[in-house]
């Protein structure tokens, strides 16, 4: 009888336990479903935020520079610098100025063809760098002029700070080169004209200086 009671009670206890476990599983499923929804919403919000950030980044300029050089000064008054600027971003930018610790001032100049057929120089206050485009500062075209530079020797490195309207300041390491030295290429004399034409600019009208 005792054993029968134990056998009879066991099923009743097991049945109650099963009901309790079933209820707990139901609650767990509810919680899992609610949690799953919350997690899905959280992932969706995160994905949207990442997409928004990526979209904003795609609409910003991305400035990259290369081939930066500074010439050994031919006169104590001035020397020239060159650099290639590429905007790999999704928005336009504008170069609005430049600085360096090795000169009193940096100006942006462009060689232009004048009405009389000669080539002159014009100072530029800003230079557009459109999205996906490359702007090259090179001899006889756009160039940076370092006014009253420090004595510079070939092989040295000069830090140039390029100031952009949207991208802020971009620092560039430029190598000093001597185009008039023994290792200069045959075109060195022509490339040095950017420097030579600026030597007496304090005494000349900027618009009348020819290359």
Among 20, 153, 146, which Cα is nearest to 83's?
146
Of the candidates 58, 87, 103, which is a domain's last residue?
58
Same structural domain for residues 48 and 141? Answer: no
CATH number of the CATH domain containing 135:
2.60.40.1890
Rounded to the nearest 5 degrees, what angle is found at the Cα of 24, between the Cα atoms of 19 and 26?
95
Same structural domain for residues 88 and 170? Answer: yes
Question: 47: domain range?
Answer: 1-58
Express each pLDDT in 54-110 by its tens digit. 555 568 999 999 999 999 999 999 999 999 999 999 999 999 999 999 999 999 999
Same structural domain for residues 79 and 109? Answer: yes
Ramachandran category for residue 97: left, alpha or beta (phi over 0 → left; psi -120 to 50 → alpha): left
Same structural domain for residues 33 and 117? Answer: no
- List C-alpha distances in Å: 70 to 92, 102, 129, 150, 198: 27, 11, 21, 12, 15
Total of domains in the chain: 2
Express each pLDDT in 60-71 by its tens digit. 999 999 999 999
Q: Give me the sign of the Cα torsion angle 188, 194, 200, 205.
A: positive
Strand partners, 85: 65, 135
d(CA 182, CA 107): 29
Same structural domain for residues 88 and 29? Answer: no
Same structural domain for residues 44 and 77? Answer: no
Q: What is the pTM of this model?
A: 0.65
Same structural domain for residues 70 and 144? Answer: yes
């Amino acid at each position: 009888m005792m054993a029968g009671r134990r056998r009879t009670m066991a099923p009743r206890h097991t049945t109650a336990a099963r009901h309790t476990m079933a209820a707990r599983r139901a609650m767990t499923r509810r919680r899992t479903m609610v949690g799953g929804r919350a997690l899905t919403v959280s992932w969706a919000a995160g994905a949207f935020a990442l997409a928004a950030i990526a979209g904003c980044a795609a609409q910003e300029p991305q400035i990259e520079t290369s081939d930066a050089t500074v010439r050994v000064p031919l006169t104590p008054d001035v020397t020239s610098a060159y650099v290639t600027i590429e905007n790999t971003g999704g928005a336009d930018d504008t170069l609005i100025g430049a600085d360096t610790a090795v000169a009193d001032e940096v100006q942006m100049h462009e060689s232009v063809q004048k009405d009389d057929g000669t080539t002159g120089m014009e100072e530029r206050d800003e230079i557009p760098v459109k999205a996906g485009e490359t702007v090259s500062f090179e001899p006889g075209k756009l160039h940076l002029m370092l006014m009253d530079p420090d004595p510079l020797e070939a092989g040295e490195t000069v830090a140039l700070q390029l100031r952009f309207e949207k991208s802020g300041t971009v620092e560039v390491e430029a190598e000093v080169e001597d185009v008039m030295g023994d290792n200069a290429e045959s075109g060195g004399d022509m490339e040095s004209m950017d420097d030579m034409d600026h030597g007496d600019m304090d005494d000349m009208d900027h618009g009348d200086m020819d290359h």
